Amino acid sequence: MPSWEKAATNLLGILHLNSIKSKIIVFALLATLIPSLTMGWLSYVHNRLFLDEKINQELLNATSQASRELDLWLKEHVYEVRVFSSSYVVSENLEKLLRPRLSRLEKTMANRRLMDYLKSVKEKFIDYEELMVIDASGKVVATSFEGETNVTMPQDWRKRAQARKSIISSPFLDQTHKTGVMVIAEPIAPVHDQFLGVLAAKLNFRGIAEILKNYSLDKTDEIYLINKEGALLVSSQPLSSGFMEDRLKKSTAALLYAREAVRLNYSSHNGRGVVGTLKKVSQMDFGVVAEKEREKAYADISELHNLTIALVAGLLLVIGLMAYLLGLTIVYPLNRLISGADKVSAGDLDFDLPVMSGGEVGHMTRVFNHMVGRLRESRAELDAINETLRERNKELHEISIRDSLTSLYNRRHLMETLSTEVTRSRRYRRPFALLMIDIDHFKQYNDTYGHLAGDDVLRMMAAAFKNSVRGCDYAARYGGEEFAMMLPETGPDGAMQTAERIRTKVEKELFTCDEQTVKITVSIGISTFPENGDDLNALISSADAALYQAKEEGRNRVILSENKRSKSP
């Protein structure tokens, strides 16, 4: 006996795997377990990397777009305040108020004009909580607010104003209006080269909240604006504690700022485990943070992990049971043959064996049983092959009559079906309608978004057509972006109603491509049997002519053919 065979036999003996049945079971389990776990692990790693990249791209897109939008938002309001401050009403009346020898009545009138101007501007711009005119000493001269008010200006506001630069304060909770604001101020046009003061606006964050809501990834996700200390200024979700009360940990905020545009795992301001990223706003000392709840973000991969474990466990159970049963089918006949061979070798011929003879009979029985087993296995394999062939033939038949892209019937099957329907309707004198449907501006859509996006539109159109007709109706892809529908037992009125319902449904659908919402429309031409002909060619020609007319009249419409009936010879 070779040394390796002896070592293997000893090992199998230690593991109590001497019997054929136990060897078959262990081999089957190992043959199932090793590739299943390997493929499951590779699938998990691949899907995890893909999901990480997808989440990172979603977060980066949301923060980048929101950051750009906030920059534009701030620039617009700075420009508005600059326009307000350059008004002749502001500079003229402020200059009057600063004259030392102006009468009390004139000062009152000048102050009233300033207040009226500020109020009229405030009424037109809802993003401003309050507009005020501040003189060079920092005193509020006029305001749009009726009541006592105050304002917090940056320490260097006079220096910036005298240099004709914009003044932007840090956010703060305004006690007058009980809301978070930031002050934007612009120097008032000087009179006689004299610095008069600034026009300041308390800008609320409602506009920013709307911007963040527009770029929120999902109803359960959150995108918000923070400062470098981690205080939340505004969020797409309601803040639980109020303006600048909800906070990220300082270490978390510092890490987000330090690793801008990088996806990080951390605890959010409400204690949830999240994945998020930050993008700085160039015009403000803030950062836009987009977050997804970690558990929900990786729910798919967790589900895949659990499903893989369940599948492997199920496979082990099924394969183990099958191996056990297979072992029994091998061991029991062998035991019977060994018992018969022992009886024969002992000279005992009183047993029931298929062939009763000497020692050669035992060998022949083994060969016979083995041959029968092989024949049985061959028959099972042949049955499996035949079943596979039947399934393949069924699939080939479906492929031959179906369009591979839309799963609708193809043109060849359409022509056969229409021909059959014409014969049936002519025999029983029953009507039916043929609809030719064409997607408007489909070439332009393909050129703009690419053929893959065009294929998605074709598939979605096919699904929409299936859901818009009766079970007895027939839909097929005629070619390119053109579809055909046959409506049995349907006259002109019913065909018009169905076609209009399809056109309206498609018009209301919104298709998304490259994160842009695109509206698709269709044009439909209708011919009916027997009004527009009692043969296949006449019906198709009439429907095509009606479709062409719909295109000529501006698309996104339904046209019923007016061609006269043309009988076949």
What does each of the 569 residues of the chain score in pLDDT, given as a tens digit? Answer: 566 656 666 666 676 666 666 767 777 777 777 777 777 777 767 777 887 888 888 888 888 888 888 888 889 989 988 898 888 888 888 888 888 777 888 888 988 998 899 899 888 888 888 899 988 888 888 888 887 888 888 888 888 888 888 888 888 888 888 888 889 999 987 766 778 889 999 988 888 888 888 877 666 588 888 888 888 888 888 887 778 888 888 889 888 888 888 888 888 888 888 888 999 887 777 889 988 888 887 777 777 777 777 777 777 777 777 766 666 555 555 565 566 556 545 544 443 435 444 444 445 555 544 544 454 565 567 678 888 888 887 777 777 788 888 888 988 998 999 999 999 988 988 999 999 999 998 888 888 888 888 888 888 888 888 887 788 888 999 888 899 999 999 999 999 999 999 999 888 887 776 667 788 899 999 999 988 888 888 889 999 999 999 999 999 999 998 875 544 33
Judge whether 296 lies within some domain. Answer: no
Are 127 and 203 in contact by the 8 Å Cβ rule? The answer is yes
The domain that holds 523 is classified in CATH as 3.30.70.270
Distance of alpha carbon 253 from alpha carbon 274, whole angstroms: 14
Domain C-terminal end among 156, 172, 204: 204
CA 368 from centroid of its chain's CA atoms: 63
Q: What angle do CA 180, 184, 189 make, to 5 degrees?
A: 155
Judge whether 262 lies within some domain. Answer: no
Find all residues with CB under 8 Å of 542, minimum gap 6, and list them.
525, 527, 532, 533, 561, 563
- Cα–Cα distances in angstroms (integers) from residue 42 to residues 47, 193, 303, 533, in the given order: 9, 75, 15, 61
CA-nearest of 473, 493, 496, 494 to 485 is 473
Domain C-terminal end among 170, 204, 238: 204
Judge whether 519 lies within some domain. Answer: yes
The domain that holds 131 is classified in CATH as 3.30.450.20
CA-nearest of 126, 127, 103, 123 to 115 is 123
Distance of alpha carbon 181 from alpha carbon 203, whole angstroms: 5
Distance of alpha carbon 438 from alpha carbon 524, whole angstroms: 6
Judge whether 194 lies within some domain. Answer: yes
Q: Which residue has the tokens 């000893």?
A: 10
Number of domains into which the chain is organized: 2
Domain containing residue 192:
86-204
Q: Which residue has the tokens 């950051």?
A: 67
Are 307 and 44 in contact by the 8 Å Cβ rule? The answer is no
Domain C-terminal end among 149, 172, 204: 204
Distance of alpha carbon 437 from alpha carbon 558, whole angstroms: 9
Q: Which residues are catalytic?
A: 481
Classify each residue of 542-560 as buried b or exposed e, where b means 16 or more C-beta atoms within 10 Å of its C-beta.
bbbbbbebbbeeeebbbbb
Judge whether 566 lies within some domain. Answer: no
Judge whether 35 lies within some domain. Answer: no
CA 448 from centroid of its chain's CA atoms: 21
Sign of the dihedral defined by the CA atoms of residues 447, 451, 452, 457, in that order = positive
Are 533 and 543 in contact by the 8 Å Cβ rule? The answer is no
Judge whether 275 lies within some domain. Answer: no
Classify each residue of 24-60 as buried b or exposed e, where b means 16 or more C-beta atoms within 10 Å of its C-beta.
bbeebbeebeeebeeebeeeeeeeeeebeeebeebbb
Distance of alpha carbon 93 from alpha carbon 199, whole angstroms: 13
Judge whether 266 lies within some domain. Answer: no
Are 296 and 220 in contact by the 8 Å Cβ rule? The answer is yes
Are 18 and 12 in contact by the 8 Å Cβ rule? The answer is yes
CA 19 from centroid of its chain's CA atoms: 55
